[in-house]
Structure 1
Amino acid sequence: MRVITWNRSFKGLPEADDKDDFDSEENETHATVLDKMLAWEKKLYDEVKAGELMKFDYQKKIASLNRLKKRGASTDHLERTKATVSHLHTRYIVDMQSMDSTVSEINRLRDEQLYPKLVQLVHGMEIMWENMKNQHDKQSQIVQALRSLDISHSPKQTSDHHYNNTRQLHVHVQMWHSQFEKLMAHQKEYIKSLNNWLKLNLIPIDNNLREKVSSPQRPQTPPIQILLRTWNEFLEKLPEEGARTAIHNFAAVMDTIFQYQTDEMKMKERCEETRRELTRKARKFEDWYNKYIQKRTDDEMENDKEVIAEQQITVELLKKRLEEEEEGYQRQCIQVRDKSLMNLKTGLPEVFRAMSEFSRACSHMYKSLSSRTKPQSSNASLS
């Protein structure tokens, strides 16, 4: 963040109200350098556009002067036209000199501000991916312990807390996959965009009055060109597909586990609903039975066994249904626990193995890229 942010506070700078502090180039961030270069590029665009219009007017006046000469126009008319041509010529030269100053400033920003910021970014990415590699290596070692994990004494049922954690992990793994794709795509897009901009930046601005305008000479291969070209080549060769696939596959694993647990929770809810219904029906039967026998004699009760049995049958059926549902629920709990563990045992080691390999490749890439920028930091040129 200290490398790329707009916000100066990330750089650990004091929150001063001094305007000059903001104007200091040493306090520029990557984003503000780009913003400044964009402003100068817009200025250059306007100057080139105005220069083209000026050149068109100048050429029209030259053509008009030539026609007047051929027609033998009066000396006074010719002198006025020549004065206009001379004035346009002078304005054009001044505009070209202003344009060249703008080009020089863009080139200065490119070499003295943007290039160092890119070098900073490379060094930051080198440190980040080295740390990522170490973390993924540790995670990979930790998940290997899953292979010998004993869950025989752990709860068989999925609790609400466990279920919510699974849902959160499922969502975060999906986000991980999405953000990983964005990270790689945006890195490539940014470096490719800078490469494309640099190709245009190195093309001299053409004009037809070159003999009267002293344009600044541009280096054929500024340090930023080699950095960006190499960076782009390295990014294209990164083995990101394996990591992307591993994260995607683990997201599918989490989706499967989440569906298992969802089915288990639904069975649990059905059991609870049946239990509540049984409690309600049993209480209703008990109330009916107590009221019924108070009104009947022993002889009448003997004759009314069938009536009582009919009332009991609903309760007994519910009891049996509850027993069957609870047996099914217990079987489901064991299956979900075993399948979840089996999926995690295969999915977690694979995703962290892939991420270890990918972060190692990134670390190696940025180390190599960083080593190529070190001669520039000591004012030497890249080889």
Structure 2
Amino acid sequence: MTLSRRKTLALIGGGVIFAATASLGTVAARQPRTAALPWAFAGQGEEPRYRALSYALLAPNPHNRQPWLVDLRTPGEVTVYVDTAKLLPHTDPFSRQITIGLGCFLELMRMAASHDGQRVTITPFPEGFDDRALDARPVARAVFVADATVTPDPLFAHVLDRRSNKEPYDVSRTLPADTLAKLSVAQNGSFGGTVDAEEVAEWRAFTREALRIEIETPHTYKESVDLFRIGRAEVDASPDGIDFTGPLFEVLGATGLMTREGLLDTSSQAYKAGLDAVYANTDTAMGFVWLVTSGNSRPDQIATGADWLRVNLAATAAGVAFQPLSQALQEYPEMAALYRDLHARLAPDGGTVQMLGRIGFGPEVAQSPRWPLEAKIMNA
């Protein structure tokens, strides 16, 4: 579940006015110390693989799980594995979305390398794969070769500004008619979208219902809440998952007004008001985009990740806010009816709808926390 940070402040506080004590003032001023450092260190490293990977760390991925591990023991190569401790068995039971996130990582690594005079050849799943589950076999093997003729990818210029904007969008600002053309940069699957007001209204209702199902299904909701990181200390200690940082979250966490246990209590005011905060996102979408592939193999999902990253970067270049809203694509029984409906709408002749997201104009948002590169290197 993705909560609007701004609205969550009001709903959890329930109108409580905190005394302006010195102790609370100190708590409120706390900010994560280490979780944002990978953004500042991007591009640093002793050789091309390290420099490319320092950017790849910033790739979008489901629930910010950062499920990648890399083996660098073979000179000039990067072997990528999935960290099976970072899977999402309830909302992503076949790890399709996790695989897409790994595809985003690989594409960003390739992009970064192209700006460092390196051509990268990526072989997905060199030892085979299981379409039903990710396992200990490598996700990809990438070979780096110095090549002065390699063409740098222009979308790379927007990497440090890229965000998944989870705040409500400005409903007073319509998207320009050429927005979808600017975002049509997929190289593998089929890109589609709409900014038509009537169609957007229908998609708002559809994605709201998908969110409701995810939140009201206990095991999927709990999977998200278990990954909440509340306040600076939790985010620095575990810079993956869904972060809640900033002055009021520090106070709410320190005073016990925001806890995972409390948010799991569906009879609480925080839970009920939280639904409104979540729906503020779907209800303010000003356009929708999606990706469809003809197949649904693991390599198809890796290729989808490359496309999704490119679309996100193109949105950044166009000044358009962007957020995945793929709840209706989650493959658990409670979502089955919406999953079928979505495919009937977007892939009536067959294929798999891999990603769905909303676009619009949103406020500036902070960088997502990240683990440092050294935490992701195997056998270091």
Query: What TM-score results when the alignment is normalised by the length of structure 1?
Result: 0.18
Structure number with greater Rg is: 1
| Higher-strand-fraction structure | 2
The alignment's TM-score, normalised by the length of structure 2, stands at: 0.18
